[in-house]
Structure 1
Amino acid sequence: MGTYDPPGCWYEPLWTPEEYEKEFKKRWNVGHFSGAGEAYAGETARYVDGKPYKDFNKDKSGEGMFWGAVYDWDRLEGDDYLACGEADFWVDNGDEPPVENAIDAETLAQLAYNEIKVPDTEVTLRPEDITKVNLPTWAWLDKADFHEVSVTATLDVGGWNLSSTTTAKPVSLKLEAGTEDATLFPASGECAINDDGSIGAPYAKGKADEDPPCGITYLRASGGEAYELQATATWEITWESTTGESGTLPDGTFGTTQDVTVQEIQAVNR
């Protein structure tokens, strides 16, 4: 959502000793390749021969897990994968992982952020689709269509159990007319959220001569085509975890465009 970039890789508990033995055998059940013998010897020394793990740490079954790198391949760019280049390692239950980028409450919150899908920001317009030069166009979003969204990410494996819930709360809507020949309401184009969670106000009969709290007056016709009205919502992002930790993440933005045709008002003199 928006320009925020959640982590492309992290470490988390993945295998019990017995599971890691199977993982090890699966990894090395491959054909010969250059340097395979030396690499296999190094891995065997590390996980089997006691340098530092003896027989995949089976004597510590139930007391911890092997941790490894997890990659979000859709987000990795360039050499981002190097941020998680540590060999798989053991962590006793309750101990802090001895690496950066280890899964924790905030990382879970970031991963939850990555899964948030906010409601569409297509605003309601009056007049709708086609308006007139110098006629105020009212814009609004109802609370029912523009509401908080939450996603929870959970780690529940071995001796690790924690969850983080990330919540996106809409706080404002910015309008861009698609042309410089327009007047925005308010002048900044930033429509604040109302106390009831809505933005702007619906047009009602009798308000034709009023300035809308959120809207646009076009000053020039669109010439038989359409202006692209862009509505971009800003979402405030917070998170809290079952550990008692909480915090904020960068605001998110999400926008849509709508075609608005603007016509001249024709007058006939007799």
Structure 2
Amino acid sequence: MTFSGSTRGNTEASPKTVTPVDNWIPPACWYEPMTAEEFAASMEKAYDSVVNDPRQPGYAKAGQGQYREIYKDGKYKNYNLDEKNRGSWWVAAQDHSRLNESGAWACDELPFWVERGGTPLMKNTATPRILAELAYNRIQLPDTVVSLAPAHATKVNLPTWVWLDTAKFKEVSVTATLNAGGINIQAITTARPISLKLEPGTLDAKTFPPSGECVEDADGSIGERYSRGNANDTPPCGIEYFRSSIDGNFRLRAVLTWKITWKGTGDAGGNLPNGTFGKDQDIAVEEIQAINR
């Protein structure tokens, strides 16, 4: 299994991955195919590494030997090498960045043989949909730092305009490819920002719109860039503070919702659960000073 595009990689966790809504969790394990030759080589390597290691206890060596015997000269014969053109072995694989999760150990079936053209019936068998879900978990997002006007410090009772830089906040995608054991499938998972939730960091503020949820415009933008001609207008996406942050900056939290779709081999495709990703940023609010004469 390989991943390309805006990806965090195969083995590294990242704080910039999307968080699925509705408690949905992408799979942490799956089943993928191996040729008879690949499976035989893998089994023999694992067997040799255990039995030839003086640090391994006797029960571990015995257990590895019994496991090998199933496929060498037990239920199967010589790893089905004589049947190599008629099928594939299917084995469990794991997301190595999620080994501390129980889901990583849910694929607990022993390797099994599937005749060519057959369909494995196990849950989490590698299909374009499963590849799309695996790609979902590897999407690397840009930091959710919004643009503000005023940019550095706003004023009490002055609407602050908020928007996203469309050059930075555009759709990103990850492609998952499986080319193994005679199987060649692919899926592309794409994330597109569709709304921005603003949390001012204090109750002494209001948002525009009142819900704090700034939705995507027809042109794909979220919020509107401030210009001089907007001075007397109400921002379509923004914040207004009612007191200063003289005792420290407020922590503005901006949470983006991303719409997730996928396309895969055989014209498969559809939607996956939306995801969110947020970040805090400091915002200073000053009192407007007036001089009386």
Instruction: Describe how 1:19-168 pairs up with structure 2 within 5 A.
Output: 19-29=38-48, 30-31=50-51, 33-36=57-60, 39-40=63-64, 42-51=66-75, 53-77=76-100, 79-168=102-191
> Aligned partners of 2:78, 2:275: CA distance in 1, in Å?
47
Instruction: Determine which structure has more spread, i.e. the larger CA radius of gyration.
Output: 1
Say which of 196, 202, 214 aligns to 1:191.
214
Matched residue, 2:243: 220
Please tell me whether the aligned partners of residues 228 and 258 of structure 1 are also in contact (alpha carbons under 8 angstroms). Answer: yes
Aligned equivalent of 1:230:
253
* CA–CA distance in structure 2, aligned partners of residues 64 and 135 of structure 1: 69
RCO (CA 8 Å, sep 6+): is it higher in 1 or 2?
Answer: 2
* Structure 1 residue aligned with 2:289: 266
| Structure 2: runs of 5+ lacking an equivalent | 1-16
SS for the counterpart of 1:236 is strand
Structure 1 residues 194 and 223, CA, compared in 2 at 3 Å: closer, same or farther? same
1:76–1:121: structure 2 CA closer, same or farther, 3 Å change rule? same
Q: What's the CA shift string for 1:155-203, capped at 9, x where partnerless?
A: 1123211111111111101111111111110000111111111111111
Structure 1 outlier segments of 4+, above 4 Å:
none
> Percentage identity across aligned positions?
50
Q: CA deviation at 1:107?
A: 0.9
- Pairing partner for 1:2 from 13, 18, 32: 18
Deviation at 1:100, TM superposition (A): 1.8
Distance 2:68 2:223 in 1: 66
Q: Cα gap change, 1:2/1:17 in structure 2, threshold over 3 Å: closer, same or farther?
A: closer
State the Cα RMSD in Å: 1.9
171-180 vs 75-84, which deviates more?
Answer: 75-84
Contact 1:94 1:159 in 2 (8 A): no
Q: Do the aligned residues in 2 keep the contact of 1:240 with 1:246 (CA within 8 Å)?
A: yes
Task: Deviation per CA, 1:105-135: give whole Å up to 9, x if none.
Answer: 1110011112212233211111112011001
Give the stretch that moved more between structures: 218-227 or 112-121.
Answer: 112-121
TM-score, scaled to structure 1: 0.92
